[in-house]
Structure 1
Amino acid sequence: MVREFKLPDVGEGVAEGELLEWHVQPGDTVEEDQVVAEVETDKAVVDVPSPVNGTVRELLAEPGEVVPVGTVIITFDVEGEPVTESDQDATADTETAAVSEESATETESEEAVAEESSGTESSVNGQGGRIFAAPSARRLARELGVDIAAVDGSGPGGRVTEADVRAAAEGGEAADAGSDGGGKQLKSAVSRIGDDEGDGASGDGQSGDSGGLKSAVSRIDDGDTGGSADASAGGAGAAAQSIEAAGRERTLAAPATRNLADELGVDIDDVPTDEMRDGEPYVDEAAVREYAEAQKQAQAADAEALANAERAGEAGPPTTTAESGAGPDAVEASEGDRREPYRGVRKTIGEAMERSKFTAPHVTHHDKVDATALVELREKLKPRAEERGVKLTYMPFVMKAVAAALAEHPVLNTQLDEENGEIVYKADHNVGVATATDAGLMVPVVKDVDGKGLLQLASETNELVSKARERSIAREEMQGGTFTITNFGAIGGEYATPIINYPETAILGLGAIEERPMAVDGEVVARDVLTLSLSIDHRVVDGADAARFVNTLKEYLEDPTLLLLE
């Protein structure tokens, strides 16, 4: 039997994921819990396991495709499974295909056997031949109601592409519009009004001497004749109408259709449609593309009309970026520039940074500390830690010092509950460690820092940082932080202005430990100096609070033996 597998909810709040890689191919035998794919969400990269023992039947998503949670991405052939409604449909399709195969010629049958043995994905058309189609083209055909077996493929070897499916869908709509059958049909007309089309051709009173391109999206029912029909017949003097948004409050649409609307900048509730499902308006991808194209043509018409008016000396309002067909924040790319999608983990990081910076008023307090004793103590303990299989860095010392300073200055271990108008003083000391990864900055959180020793902190921190860089860290391992440390000095740097990991109220930046001249007992000597940059949310933490916290932190770092008392 056929078992459909939908993209699972791989984390709370995750609505979609980008398919990075398939680990299986159609025909492969899989076991339950075997990894079949890698998916990147806006949190991390996760492995998707097989839910059953069986054989891979079909892959319904391609690498690089963003798939909403709940969308079927793969199907399996499983023995002993109960027959479901979808299984019965699949069985019926298989039986129909078998009948078509029997009606094929012997040569075609031999070719079909050869194709099956090579593992190439194919299907049988109504003429007894075989066609090839990518999983994305098959899915699109199902969404648009197109019989993929009737589509002529333009790809290599006659492979059916998404463009072929869309062309078939548009061709079917055109045929339906030209028939005498009942029902309403969504139509789009784009016509050029030239000098020879006469005055008064446009219903809005525009004269024919300005030569603008106009676009119309209109509903045509059984009683619609005249101007619109004449326009579809290609007659001169056809009336061009302005685009009117539907403005519905609710619209039914497939997840892929909604994603397409977002990509094209279209409000799906504005897309005209006469199709109804369960008593609600239903919009498909073809309608979204048609409406988006109509908008684009209308914008181009406006720009062209304005240019014509300016050339004729009739100055109009200045053209904005939006009027020219691009968004106000669009970036023009020059030759040699490279673009890559802004999504997934990178987009999540950007949105979090934006929210923090524009929500919490940031103030950064800078200072430096004589870390000579800290350097000496770490060098002394480093071999002992290596004997126990632990790499000892400066981070565990700083984390312990931060926890001790937070105990004395709890206002920096807080979160602002804006909804209830309260400052929440956190009981736990959970320290996040900002980590640079290929996908951007991640913040694994070490819990209960104040209750752990240096070696345990070092071991846990190293493990979490490694998992973050390998993109295998769990979502819960990056949650629950109360204070964050970022070590930009590991890359090179002295001072910075770190952005707070909202909704926390403080973040500590560490510069590089370097030898610098310092005055000690009236003499200038070389000392190991660590620079500190503490950013605070000034709504909750005052500058004096920040200074006192840093002074306490310096005491522990200048004499790390004090940490033995913690």
Structure 2
Amino acid sequence: MGTHVIKMPDIGEGIAEVELSQWHVKVGDLVVEDQVLADVMTDKAMVDIPSPVHGKVIALGGQPGEVMAVGSVLISIEVEGAGNLKESAAPAPVKEAAVAVPAKTETPVENKSAAIARPAPVCQGPVVAREADERPLASPAVRKHALDLGIQLRLVRGTGPAGRVLHDDLEAYLAQGQSNASAPASAAYAQRHDEEQIQVIGMRRKIAQRMQDATQRAAHFSYVEEIDVTAIEELRAHLNAKHGASRGKLTLLPFLVRALVVALRDFPQMNARYDDEAQVITRLGAVHVGVATQSDVGLMVPVVHHAEARSLWDSAAEISRLANAARHGKASRDELSGSTITLTSLGALGGIVSTPVLNLPEVAIVGVNKIVERPMVVKGQVVIRKMMNLSSSFDHRVVDGMDAALFIQAIRGLLEQPATLFVE
């Protein structure tokens, strides 16, 4: 038997150190070639670290949340044969992603180059007994889902890597009728004294750092305006009825992207990046729209590059593709960088007013609130209209209040008279 040492890989772009975000294996686990061992976090994305060999994990080189230098020992694996006795370079990451997607454990098969068998899949069946203080592996979204369903997560068998509980596991648990709904009603009013400490690491740490940096460095101010979206919603419904089956359904977002593109022609100072250290504002002709997207590990901002060159359906398809990639951990660093202005929306949960935080070094972010039907006075008559607020924030170091108001009013005019979106 020998030992194969895997070092922290060189991710590229001059990065000298990365944060170890999560282990997908533990000491004693059998691993197979190409199985994801760990997630590491760069400034822009999560990266999967795969195993180049079959073997048994004998040592881990760090703890989640630890910042490790490129070239430091990440993990040691016992293998058949002489192994990797010298400190060789680490395997190249299999992908760059917003959130790493763990590889599924494979069923046992005989490997011709090593006698070590592949690990068996997790036992089937949704129910498992854990100690009362044992915290099962699960994403924040899964934990919230379990809480909403009234399920004790420690009772659910996880079928993901390392026993991670997935959304499908919760559904399987409910299907067997094992939820807390069968518990005595008095249990819902019992006193609780438990506490849970959650280390801020990985993507959540990066989000926290960026939000803190943005609020400390930029002089935020917000501007809110209501928009009558009745006409644009009628146009959207008409286009979906006529072309939805062949071209795909349109949401409001591609119309908003188009409105940004057109409005920015008259307000180029909004499509800019501000380097506050060099005291330089860079205005860009290309419109790269960041679309804030919620994922299991937090907020991601995939980028619709060159929105100025895209049709409605092209924008819609790209927004959908990027959102799915971000939510499933498959967005690359290129897809998560380069934005010049950001669009953020909470959809039906958008509320009435919000105060979005700038995505530095950008100087403007446009926030979309929910659409509500309200009685409005139109030409002296009270009619029901679909109304929506835009809650937008700007960097007051670069953008004057009057310019911000005129910019949002331009977007309002385009959306309330949707034909003007396409008049050149």
Give yes or no for TM over 0.5.
Answer: yes
Contact in 1 for aligned 2:302/2:335 (Cα 8 Å): yes
- The partner residue of 1:553 within 388, 402, 411 is 411
CA 400–336 in structure 1, closer or farther in 2 if over 3 Å, else same: same
Counterpart for residue 429 of structure 1: 287
Bigger mean CA deviation after superposition, 37-46 or 370-379: 37-46
Give CA-to-partner distance per residue, 1:117-139, whole Å, 9 cap, x none: 9999xxxxxxxxxxxxxxxxxxx
Please state if 1:22 is matched with 2:25. Answer: yes
- The partner residue of 2:351 within 490, 493, 496 is 493
Identity rate of aligned residues, in percent? 34
CA 29–539 in structure 1, closer or farther in 2 if over 3 Å, else same: closer
Please state if 1:6 is matched with 2:7. Answer: yes
Measured after TM superposition, the shift of residue 419 of structure 1 is 2.6
- The partner residue of 2:329 within 446, 463, 471 is 471
How many angstroms apart in 1 are the aligned matches of 2:247 and 2:60? 43
| Aligned-partner residue type, residue 368 of structure 1 | E
Measured after TM superposition, the shift of residue 415 of structure 1 is 1.7
CA 462–11 in structure 1, closer or farther in 2 if over 3 Å, else same: farther
User: The residue matched to 1:512 in structure 2 has which SS?
Assistant: strand
How many angstroms apart in 2 are the aligned matches of 1:117 and 1:8? 25
User: The residue matched to 2:292 in structure 1 has which SS?
Assistant: strand
- The partner residue of 2:269 within 388, 407, 411 is 411
How many angstroms apart in 2 are the aligned matches of 1:487 and 1:469? 15
How many angstroms apart in 1 are the aligned matches of 2:20 and 2:116? 33
Measured after TM superposition, the shift of residue 350 of structure 1 is 1.1
Give CA-to-partner distance per residue, 1:235-291, whole Å, 9 cap, x none: xxxxxxxxxxxxxxxxxxxxxxxxxxxxxxxxxxxxxxxxxxxxxxxxxxxxxxxxx
Please state if 1:390 is matched with 2:248. Answer: yes
Counterpart for residue 361 of structure 1: 219
| Aligned-partner residue type, residue 200 of structure 2 | Y
Measured after TM superposition, the shift of residue 385 of structure 1 is 4.8
How many angstroms apart in 2 are the aligned matches of 1:535 and 1:119? 53
User: The residue matched to 1:565 in structure 2 has which SS?
Assistant: coil
Please state if 1:41 is matched with 2:41. Answer: yes
How many angstroms apart in 2 are the aligned matches of 1:507 and 1:388? 32
Counterpart for residue 254 of structure 1: none
CA 26–356 in structure 1, closer or farther in 2 if over 3 Å, else same: closer
Measured after TM superposition, the shift of residue 72 of structure 1 is 3.0
TM-score (norm 2): 0.68
Contact in 2 for aligned 1:20/1:63 (Cα 8 Å): no
Counterpart for residue 461 of structure 1: 319
Contact in 1 for aligned 2:302/2:336 (Cα 8 Å): yes
1:344-383 matches, within 5 Å, as 344-383=202-241
CA 385–444 in structure 1, closer or farther in 2 if over 3 Å, else same: farther
- The partner residue of 1:513 within 371, 374, 380 is 371
TM-score (norm 1): 0.52
Point out the structure with the larger helix share.
1
Give CA-to-partner distance per residue, 1:151-206, whole Å, 9 cap, x none: xxxxxxxxxxxxxxxxxxxxxxxxxxxxxxxxxxxxxxxxxxxxxxxxxxxxxxxx
How many angstroms apart in 2 are the aligned matches of 1:28 and 1:439? 25
1:56-455 matches, within 5 Å, as 56-61=55-60, 65-66=64-65, 68=68, 69-70=70-71, 71-75=73-77, 77=79, 85=86, 335-388=193-246, 390-455=248-313
How many angstroms apart in 2 are the aligned matches of 1:393 and 1:64? 43
Contact in 1 for aligned 2:21/2:202 (Cα 8 Å): yes
Measured after TM superposition, the shift of residue 564 of structure 1 is 2.1
CA 119–346 in structure 1, closer or farther in 2 if over 3 Å, else same: closer
Q: Which has the higher contact order (CA 8 A, sep 6+)?
A: 2
Measured after TM superposition, the shift of residue 10 of structure 1 is 4.0
Bigger mean CA deviation after superposition, 365-374 or 389-398: 389-398
Structure 1 residues not aligned, in runs of 5+: 88-115, 121-333
